[in-house]
Chains A and B, each alone.
Chain A
Amino acid sequence: MKHLLEKLETTKLDNRIRLGIMSILMVNDWVDFGTFKEMLGLTDGNLASHMKVLESESYVEMRKLFVGRKPQTSYTATVLGRKAFNDHLAALEELLKSGS
């Protein structure tokens, strides 16, 4: 049980918002900043700080495009990010099994 909990905490995904971001990225190619804000109900600053954590872990990749004249920031999950997400889910599942 204890080692399972530790496993959950080694990935940076033990946070609801970051897990939410990764869930969205698992089923979509590129998702722009505004969509995340709306889906997760976050402020600019809050979302940006969580994105920074994910970026520093190399779980997500950023790209900036110009849509008309406005710059649009989008994100995609990296292979590393996908693996971290799957590991995290597997750990959660194991934890649920052992707990019940």
Chain B
Amino acid sequence: MANHNEHLETLSEIRSMMERSSRFISLSGLSGVAAGSFALLGAAMVYIYLGLQPFSNYKIFYAEALRNGKWGIDYVTFFLLDAALVFVLAVASGIYFTTRKAKRKGQKVWDQSALRMLSNLAIPLIVGGIFCLVLYRERQILLIAPATLVFYGLALVNGSKFTLNDIRYLGLCEIGLGIIGLFFPGYGLELWAIGFGLLHIAYGLVMYRKYE
């Protein structure tokens, strides 16, 4: 019956209108895959720099870090450079893939919903950043990695209300990993590689298959 289908169509149209006008749905799964890959590469660089295997004893890890001045740079500079590079590459690829997806679907990338998602994402992230700076100042280095995971997870949960809902579960996983890290300090890099690397890749693939 024709009427039936027409009403069904109306309902799905309403639904899509509500989603499109309130949520940022152009977020591309591929950007997660790219960000995760860069994170894994970044973690690998640290292991190469220290000449260590993953899941080796953390006491060796920091002893090596302090002793090691490979390639003419000390470990703090190296870690910061490495992290900054991963961050820039991840954000750049995120912008690239998301813009591409939006263009392909004929949607605007930068609109009210994008702004709302980013501002909600930014609040826990900035607080977390300041918190980690304080940890660094207080010489609580071991807690920094798990703390970044916890705050990043909180940022995702907060931002998920304004984008694809799946992000919420990714956020919860990151928080869980971070909390595990708080109780097992010294495995920060391993947890980072899992949280920022593997989880992003896994989530990116799931989202790509689901929405693109």
Q: Which candidate, B4-12, B56-64, B87-95, B130-138, is the interface stretch facing chain A?
A: B4-12
Bound-state CA distance A95–B1 (Å) is 12
Residues in B whose Cβ lies below 8 Å from that of A26: 18
Bound-state CA distance A31–B18 (Å) is 12
**Given A35-B112, A38-B108, does the pair A23, B7 have CB atoms closer than 8 Å?**
no
> Could you tell me the dominant secondary structure of chain A's interface residues?
helix
Partner of B13, one of A20, A95, A96, A99: A20
A27 within 8 A of B: yes
CB nearest neighbor in B for A35: B112
Partner of B18, one of A16, A24, A93: A24
Bound-state CA distance A16–B87 (Å) is 45
**Given A16-B10, A23-B17, A35-B112, does the pair A99, B22 have CB atoms closer than 8 Å?**
no
Number of chain A residues whose Cβ lies closer than 8 Å to a Cβ of chain B = 19
Residues in A whose Cβ lies below 8 Å from that of B108: 38
A11 within 8 A of B: no
B3 within 8 A of A: yes
Partner of A95, one of B7, B21, B22, B112: B7
Bound-state CA distance A100–B108 (Å) is 38
Are B21 and A31 touching (Cβ within 8 A)?
Answer: yes
- What does the 1/0 interface line of A12-31 toward B look like (CB < 8 Å)? 00001001100110111001
Are B8 and A27 touching (Cβ within 8 A)?
Answer: no
Are A24 and B112 touching (Cβ within 8 A)?
Answer: no
A-B contact count (CB 8 A): 48
Residues in B whose Cβ lies below 8 Å from that of A67: none
- What does the 1/0 interface line of A67-91 toward B look like (CB < 8 Å)? 0000000000000000000000100
Residues in B whose Cβ lies below 8 Å from that of A89: 11, 14
B103 within 8 A of A: no
Most buried by A among B17, B20, B22, B112: B17
**Given A20-B13, A24-B18, A28-B22, does the pair A96, B112 have CB atoms closer than 8 Å?**
no
Task: Show 8 A/B contacts (Cβ-Cβ < 8 Å), sorted by A.
Answer: A23-B13, A24-B18, A35-B112, A39-B21, A89-B14, A95-B3, A96-B8, A96-B11
Binding site for B on A (CB under 8 A): 16, 19-20, 23-24, 26-28, 31, 35, 38-39, 89, 92-93, 95-96, 99-100
